[in-house]
Structure 1
């Protein structure tokens, strides 16, 4: 009897160990790193508070390619970093001095989001939230202002997307983000208006993208 109990105990431990190894294997069966190339539309939802002369601001849309990298910590939790640069024309409108073109400016807005991916057979929805840090550079002040300066800004980002499997490696991606972005702008217009004008500008862009992705490993 003792021998039978000992054999049964050994067999039970062996089965438990095998099941644990199988579960570990299943849990680890996911791609940890993937890359996407998207075409994105950046649509600002702009408004401004302009000192002295009042008025508002308009910022043009931009359409550019974007590269992003995603790392999966688990099968469902991942972090995504996007890389792109956009160029926008800026204008102050309905001011005491009329409509004032302020040239254009380039934005470098690296955005890091933490995502939750829902499991699916062919379609994999995900939601995310994170931070954005936007750098403004190569500002062209336009025909009126002597100089326009934009402060770099930190904002929050929210995300919703879908991955549609083509096969085990390739997939099509649809993605939408909303970034809460605000910057302080200083317009040196002493030559034309005899003043330096400050403004607080809400850019708050909506970003829609479509592209293709590849699961690396």
Structure 2
């Protein structure tokens, strides 16, 4: 399973190799930089009617989390991004407006991205498609511990980078994750949670 530890190692490796890659190209233009690291904050919101076989409208409130990503640009337009939450997002379980429990989630994803336009333009939109997994922990429902399996599946991304200069930029993005989790009591499946969260975030990044 993907984990934030693996994400941190990959981003650290990117930073380690970035100076050497930059040294090979004396140009200071945005197009010459093949690595980018972004730190930010995002709000994760699963479906508010996610739980099957539950009375009424039962689902999840959203929760915030810090995020970190590292990207490698194969060309000026195509990039591979490793993205994830640097900490867990705590989300309450709500049934018809009442708080009946809570969970914590920590997603991580790998995506291919297409960045429109040229590297130096002021606003640069992008789209992406990839695969994610989300670690779920500390599950409680009506005061009882329950188990949720790992949601996993496709992730789609839309966003834009707002260039400050050749190195620094700000970012806004939205990600949709398609994935369900089995609800278990002991080893017995008692239901299913159709998580399908949206994650909306902002961040600040640097290119190397």
Fold similarity call, TM over 0.5: yes
Matches within 5 A, 1:130-141: 130-141=130-141
Number of the residue aligned with 2:206: 214
Deviations 1:115-149 (A, max 9, x none): 00112421111100011111212334552x2x200
Deviation at 1:204, TM superposition (A): 0.8
Aligned length: 173
Number of the residue aligned with 2:193: 201
Q: Report if the CA contact (8 A) 1:48-1:55 is conserved.
A: no
TM-score normalised by structure 1 residue count: 0.72
Hey, what's the Cα distance between the residues in 2 that align with 1:100 and 1:119?
46
Asked if 1:89 corresponds to 2:92, the answer is yes
Q: Report if the CA contact (8 A) 2:157-2:174 is conserved.
A: yes
Hey, what's the Cα distance between the residues in 1 that align with 2:99 and 2:182?
17
Matches within 5 A, 1:23-102: 29-46=31-48, 47-50=50-53, 54-84=55-85, 85-91=88-94, 93=95, 101=100
What root-mean-square deviation, in Å, do the aligned CA atoms of Structure 1 and Structure 2 show?
2.4
Q: Report if the CA contact (8 A) 1:68-1:80 is conserved.
A: yes
Unaligned runs of 5+ in 1: 1-24, 189-195
Asked if 1:163 corresponds to 2:161, the answer is yes
Number of the residue aligned with 2:23: none
Larger radius of gyration: 1
Asked if 1:122 corresponds to 2:122, the answer is yes
